[in-house]
A = this chain, B = another copy of it.
Amino acid sequence: MSINYKLELMYDGSAFSGWQRQKNARTVCGELESAIKIITKQDVELCGVSRTDAGVHANEYVANFFMDIEFPPEKLVVGINAICPDEISVKKAEITAPDFNARFDVKSKTYIYTIDNTQYGNSFMRKYAWHFKYPLDLEAMQEACRSYLGTHDFSAFMSQGSTAKNFERTILDACVTKGADGIIRFSVTGDGFLYNMVRIMAGTLVWVGKGAISPSQIPDIIASKDRKKAGVTAPPHGLMLYKLNY
């Protein structure tokens, strides 16, 4: 009988070619599967909550996998953390319900996209924020951001290469804040996201901030379902999967 294991983890995406296993590339999933093989001698396949791109970070991440043997979850945690690179940390492992699926059971996800809006570039944010040094109109970005709320067909905010067939997603919460240190954070919670959707939303907000798009145009851009109408795809290293709600 196969047992379903659930892992709660975090990772600094800087050093990886994203989550999903690939031949000849260092991925988070690949590192974890190799570690589990060393510890348990079992070949397992991880199912992760999201296929994050290269450079994207995760503060909270959940994956599950099936294994025919019973293995103490706390030993999995210690073993994986000992074997995996320091950029991956498993916080918790547990045996979970047989029908639990990390990808399909998540109710909502919160992403934070970070923009370093200082002139000089914060030394500590190089790998965790998009350094955009030109002036940004924060209020315009906040106004634009509110148009993301609700249920829409977000085709205009999707990169090619997706296998999605339904393009409707619900944005439950979205806000833009700026700290005294010049760091802007775009926080967005939704029931699901299309391929590169948060990065295109962030890039569009920056286009609004610099005056290339007016906040009042956002509803039209959404309605157009035309990727070319939205802003740039913001670089991956500013993106962090922040919180999961199951």
Contact surface of A with B, Cβ cutoff 8 Å: 10-12, 57, 59, 77, 81, 86-91, 118-124, 126, 128
Contact B123 A90 (CB under 8 A): no
Distance (whole angstroms) from the CB of A62 to the closest CB of chain B = 14
Among B86, B119, B128, point to the contact of A126 (Cβ < 8 A).
B86
Q: In the complex the two chains form, what is the Cα distance from A175 to B57 in whole Å?
A: 31
Q: Taking the full assembly, how many copies of this chain does it contain?
A: 2
B-side contacts of A10, CB under 8 Å: 122-124
Contact A12 B89 (CB under 8 A): no
Contact B57 A89 (CB under 8 A): no
Among B90, B91, B124, point to the contact of A12 (Cβ < 8 A).
B124
Distance (whole angstroms) from the CB of A85 to the closest CB of chain B = 9
Q: In the complex the two chains form, what is the Cα distance from A133 to B245 in whole Å?
A: 27
Contact B123 A12 (CB under 8 A): yes
Contact B121 A81 (CB under 8 A): yes
Contact B121 A86 (CB under 8 A): yes
Distance (whole angstroms) from the CB of A242 to the closest CB of chain B = 12
Given A10-B123, A11-B123, A57-B124, 4 new contacts (CB under 8 A): A81-B121, A86-B126, A89-B118, A89-B121
Q: List 25 A-B contacts (CB under 8 A).
A: A10-B122, A10-B123, A10-B124, A11-B123, A12-B123, A12-B124, A57-B124, A59-B124, A77-B119, A81-B120, A81-B121, A86-B121, A86-B123, A86-B126, A87-B123, A88-B123, A89-B118, A89-B120, A89-B121, A89-B122, A89-B123, A90-B120, A91-B119, A91-B120, A124-B128
